[in-house]
């Protein structure tokens, strides 16, 4: 008896291995997959400007990186003694205007370099709802708790989402033609928008990606793929036990399950033995002995260090804290 519907997945040809450089942009679910890549020591960069949720915000930061559009004093503002940018997450902040501009441009430089070298770009969209700053007349990535009266809330149309994806892909491929772009929709529910509004938002994102992918197919310029993380959560893990206490975010078990499904499609099978070795090392580093000075533990540490050194000979970029 089959007690679960399983989404059929086909392995991609240009898979991720330990030579790959993966760039991850988008919603907080990006950090779930990024956390797994970090754990298994795949080369990756995650959200240089912090978490961003919608297609226009991602397009904007990619445009800055590709066209080398530096941040200036006009791109930051002060609130309650802290400086922020409407193009970055609240975690990207400083105590002075000058310090924040310097920080943003340093991250922009690092982002631009990594983008030009990335083998894979994973973009996760969280919502199609956006906020337009009325005085500035532009959509922001984050409101930074600025009073609601300063913004107008809008729902991106399917067409505008598709157009934004096309623009972002053109920018990426213009500077890095060999990059594989992977789109996905976050399974995290944005219920602050409302139940119906969240469903509408996810539907617009899915339809926008589908429209863009159809356009790629008809023009024979297939450069982007879709990974169904949202559908896996909704259809394979359709139970509240796979949500954290807030009933919005996936549990570690759900993240691990989606990661396993992601591996089936995007992680090269020949990396499996290295992943197992790294997992052993990671668990060893977390081990807390009853007697740190015992001969048994000292021998355990010595063996662990030998495993690390051996692995570093194969993969020089590895580092363990």
Domain spans of the chain, in order of start:
21-267, 270-321
- Mean pLDDT of the 71-81 span: 96
249-to-33, 77, 123, 164 alpha-carbon distances in Å: 13, 31, 18, 26
pLDDT of residue 215: 81
How many percent of the chain have pLDDT more than 70? 98
- What are 242's two structure tokens? 């796979």
- Mean pLDDT of the 29-56 span: 96
Query: Is 90 exceeded by the pLDDT of residue 290?
Result: no
- Mean pLDDT of the 9-30 span: 95
Closest CA to 225 of 116, 121, 94, 74: 121
Q: What are phi and psi of 44, to 5 degrees?
A: -160, 155
The chain-wide mean pLDDT, for the chain, equals 94
How many percent of the chain have pLDDT more than 90? 84
**Is residue 219 very low, low, confident or very high in pLDDT (cuts 50, 70, 90)?**
low
Count CB atoms within 10 A of the CB of residue 195.
Answer: 9
SS3 state at 185: strand
Q: Three-state SS across 66-132?
A: HHCCCCCHHHCEEECCEEECCCCCCCCCECCHHHHHHHHHHHHHHHHHHHHHCCEEEEEECCCEEEE
DSSP tally for the chain: helices H, then strands E: 9, 10
Residues in the chain: 321
- What are 96's two structure tokens? 């002075």
What does the pLDDT look like over 145-196, one tens digit per residue?
999 999 999 999 999 999 999 999 999 999 999 999 999 999 999 999 999 9
The CATH number that domain 21-267 falls under is 3.40.50
CB < 8 Å & 24+ apart, contacts of 299-304: none
How far apart CA 294 and CA 290 sit, in angstroms, is: 9
> Helices (DSSP H) in 118-157: which residue ranges?
none
């Amino acid at each position: 008896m089959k007690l679960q519907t399983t989404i059929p997945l086909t392995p991609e040809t240009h898979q991720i291995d330990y030579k790959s450089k993966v760039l991850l942009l988008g919603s907080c679910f990006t950090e779930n997959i990024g956390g797994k890549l970090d754990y298994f020591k795949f080369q990756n960069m995650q959200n240089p400007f912090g978490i961003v949720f919608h297609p226009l915000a991602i397009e904007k930061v990619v445009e800055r990186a590709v066209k080398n559009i530096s941040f200036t004093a006009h791109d930051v503002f002060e609130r309650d003694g802290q400086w922020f940018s409407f193009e970055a997450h609240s975690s990207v902040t400083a105590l002075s205007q000058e310090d924040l501009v310097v920080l943003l441009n340093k991250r922009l430089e690092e982002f631009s370099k990594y983008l030009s070298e990335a083998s894979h770009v994973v973009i996760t969209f969280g919502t199609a709802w956006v906020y337009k700053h009325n005085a500035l007349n532009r959509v922001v990535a984050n409101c930074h708790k600025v009073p609601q009266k300063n913004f107008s809330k809008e729902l991106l149309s399917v067409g505008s989402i598709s157009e934004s994806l096309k623009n972002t892909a053109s920018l990426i491929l213009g500077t890095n033609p060999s990059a594989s772009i992977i789109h996905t929709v976050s399974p995290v529910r944005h219920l602050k928008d409302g139940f119906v509004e969240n469903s509408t938002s996810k539907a617009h994102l899915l339809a926008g990606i589908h429209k863009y992918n159809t356009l790629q197919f008809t023009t024979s310029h297939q450069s982007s793929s879709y990974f169904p993380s949202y559908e896996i959560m909704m259809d394979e893990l359709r139970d509240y036990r796979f949500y954290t206490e807030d009933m919005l975010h996936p549990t570690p078990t759900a993240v691990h399950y989606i990661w396993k499904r992601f591996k089936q499609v995007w992680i090269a099978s020949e990396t499996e033995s290295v992943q197992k070795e790294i997992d052993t090392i990671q668990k060893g580093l977390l081990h807390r002995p009853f007697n740190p000075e015992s001969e048994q533990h000292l021998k355990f540490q010595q063996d662990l260090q030998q495993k690390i050194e051996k692995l570093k000979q194969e993969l020089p970029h590895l580092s363990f804290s």
